[in-house]
Amino acid sequence: MTVKTLLSEDRLPTRWYNIVADMPEGSLKPPLDPATGEPVGPDALASIFPMSIIMQEVSGERHIDIPDEVREVYKLWRPTPLIRAMRLEKELDTPAQIFFKYEGVSPAGSHKPNTSVPQAFYNREAGIKRIATETGAGQWGSAMALATQMFGLECTVYMVRISYDQKPYRRSMMQVWGADVLASPTDRTNSGRAILEQDPESLGSLGIAISEASEDAATHDDCNYSLGSVLNHVLMHQTVIGEECRLQMEMAGVYPDVVIGCIGGGSNYAGLAFPFMRDKLAGSREIEFIAAEPAACPTVTKGSYTYDYGDTLCSTPLFMMHTLGHDFIPPGIHAGGLRYHAMAPLISALVDLGHMRAVAYGQTEIFDAGIMFARAEGIIPAPESCHAIKAAIDAAVECRDRGEGKIILFNLSGHGHFDMSAYDQYLSGNLSDYAYPEEKIKESMSRIPKMG
């Protein structure tokens, strides 16, 4: 039996939820100007973001209306289904009920268009003609290519070199939606040239690509920058996931005891979790929140909660967040979307407050979980999402051992149709488990700025 809770289009949420309004007093530390050590004002970001986005970034309003034009584009794939994984429950012989919210039904195949679409919209409203952005494995670049196409903007994507070479179909997808895709580091920006000078064979990293894209935006008036995760406004746009999910769980007559997601920069998990975290912060519900990350890039489980740069070349303000050091370049795991060196300040603060915890998994065990899920539920998950599945399976097994019928909810952030080479390596027994990169982390942590 398949239990699928669908929501009609007319019940698509009309507002995003801004958790900043409900965070405990003093729990959020402001971004700092690295030169002065003083909090940065909204104007500091005006050369790369439209004012409407900056105002959302610093907003303390609990709810922000979703513009009608954005809702119209959302309707291409939203509301997304909430599915009860009954076959997986049976396979695990668990008394727990496992629900997942499936974000892989968007045209780009992940949750990322939930924010690329409003970001493109607000930039067009501000008269911007082109968006420059970075992409790792290609999911964010394709989400932004889709969104700029919907709103008639141009799009330049700085794609991390190693993914550019290894993921040709993601590149084609972006090109189909009209984007100009460059292998980063490029020789078009000062940041790119500086890296190439040190290492002409550089495989690139997300941090380097961010430096390039933001430099492009800062040096061209009609071009803005756009970030696919980490920042407050991005996490807020993603709450359309959790707002929908609350309605669907109500329709199904259940409420989650455990809420799980994978974390790269933290946006898909925040999107599902924050509308439920609201109840926990208000003291009206006891919920366990578990965020799953790769052992090869263990930002929250092994990083420090401190001020650091968002990019490799130190061009961003300093953010208070969990970090492995801004120049940490993680091993080339297949879950490319989870290779960022730091974590969203909002997720970091909630972990620091003890409202959420993180777990780290190796590459082989997450593919074990992903294959088990695909065989039970049919959907082939993205390697990133496999981390959430692994955590959900662990929680369900714990319920079996303790005889607890908990309600487990996780976010299935995307499908894995563009990651079949990773599955191929797994199935042929050629997948390597990277060791926890302790020495490299120690080294990069020694270069974190001393602040705050």
- What gap in Å lies between CA 84 and CA 100, rounded to an integer? 6
266 binds ligand PLP (CB under 6 A): yes
Peptide bond just before 79 cis, omega within 30 deg: yes
Which is nearer to ligand PLP, 152 or 168 (by Cβ)?
A: 168
Which is nearer to ligand PLP, 338 or 389 (by Cβ)?
A: 338
> In angstroms, what is the minimal distance from the CB of 262 to ligand PLP?
5
Question: Out of 263, 300, 318, 422, which residue is the one contacting ligand PLP (CB under 6 A)?
Answer: 263
Contact 264, 339 (CB under 8 A): yes
- What gap in Å lies between CA 304 and CA 370, rounded to an integer? 29
Query: Which helix (H) or strand (E) covers residue 93, if one does?
Result: none
- What gap in Å lies between CA 374 and CA 117, rounded to an integer? 29
Structure tokens given for 88 = 């997986």
267 binds ligand PLP (CB under 6 A): yes
Which is nearer to ligand PLP, 82 or 382 (by Cβ)?
A: 382
Structure tokens given for 429 = 């027994």
> In angstroms, what is the minimal distance from the CB of 359 to ligand PLP?
14
229 binds ligand PLP (CB under 6 A): yes
Which is nearer to ligand PLP, 96 or 231 (by Cβ)?
A: 231
Which is nearer to ligand PLP, 113 or 192 (by Cβ)?
A: 113
Q: How far apart are the first and last CA of the chain?
A: 54
Question: Out of 325, 337, 345, 437, which residue is the one contacting ligand PLP (CB under 6 A)?
Answer: 337
Q: Please tell me the count of residues contacting ligand PLP according to CB under 6 A.
A: 19
Half-sphere exposure of 228 (CA within 13 A, CB side): 33
Measured N-to-C along each axis, helices 113-125 and 139-150 cross at an angle, to the nearest 10 degrees, of 40
Q: Which of residues 366-395 bind ligand PLP (CB under 6 A)?
A: 382, 384-385
Which is nearer to ligand PLP, 183 or 270 (by Cβ)?
A: 270
Distance (Å) of CA 296 to CA 131, 329, 331, 359, 428: 31, 10, 6, 12, 21
Question: Out of 112, 161, 171, 339, which residue is the one contacting ligand PLP (CB under 6 A)?
Answer: 112
363 binds ligand PLP (CB under 6 A): no
Structure tokens given for 291 = 């965020």
> In angstroms, what is the minimal distance from the CB of 264 to ligand PLP?
3
Residues that bind ligand PLP (CB under 6 A): 110, 112, 139-140, 229, 262-268, 337-338, 382, 384-385, 413-414
